[in-house]
Homo-oligomer: A and B are copies of this chain.
């Protein structure tokens, strides 16, 4: 995790760059999924994306993360990314602990254990992902994203499959992390309450093909 002060200083020097998303069109075969989805994310800003199931939220995140490159338009993004996929996407043949340390070679075993503790998996370090419940797997995926010091944090419905108490714990953890590392954050959620609590700005995808809703809903509470 690193000392917040140092990380903050490094960040200031390195990455006070705006993340520009400029997706002109994204199609799958004949069907157009995204149409002119254009927005910026400022450094340290948290942006939530809302929208009905199947509209194209995950598709948009994959484009922003650079996984999907078959689209019209371009995206400017930093190199240090972290991502929480909609499904856990762990290495099933490596233990929970190794799933953290392999992805972050700089992370010591002790730090990794501490991180597992924070997401409530302190006693599961040696288990394989298949031996974890789905909620535990999702928390492991969260821990993996938080263990680096990303400049851009992308999360696809990070807090589903969790009971209210655990969800609340994960939300606070995320808030703390964002406050410490100050990454630019882009996340998808279906829960308006989560968006209100975490996001500086809320974008909504609408229509077919999906576009950003004409009036961007702004979160009055923060910034």
Contacts and interface: CB of A to CB of B under 8 A. Distances in A.
Interface of A: 28, 50-54, 57-58, 86-87, 120, 131-136, 139, 157, 160-167, 190, 192
Contacts of A86: 134, 161
Contacts of A161: 53, 86, 157, 160, 190
Contact of A162 (B162, B190, B192): B190
B52 A163 contact: yes
Contact of A52 (B160, B165, B190): B165
Nearest to A156: B134
Given A58-B134, A87-B134, A163 B28 contact: no
| Copies of this subunit | 2
Nearest to A28: B131
A86 B132 CA distance: 13
Contacts of A136: 53-54
Contacts of A192: 164
17 contacts: A51-B163, A52-B165, A53-B120, A53-B133, A53-B139, A53-B162, A53-B166, A54-B120, A54-B133, A54-B136, A86-B161, A87-B87, A87-B134, A160-B160, A163-B190, A164-B192, A167-B190
A166 B51 CA distance: 11
Nearest to A192: B164
A54 B133 CA distance: 5
A166 B74 CA distance: 31
A25 B159 CA distance: 30
Contacts of A163: 50-53, 190
Nearest to A167: B190
List the 3 closest A-B pairs by CB distance, nearest first. Answer: A53-B135, A54-B133, A160-B160
A52 B170 CA distance: 13
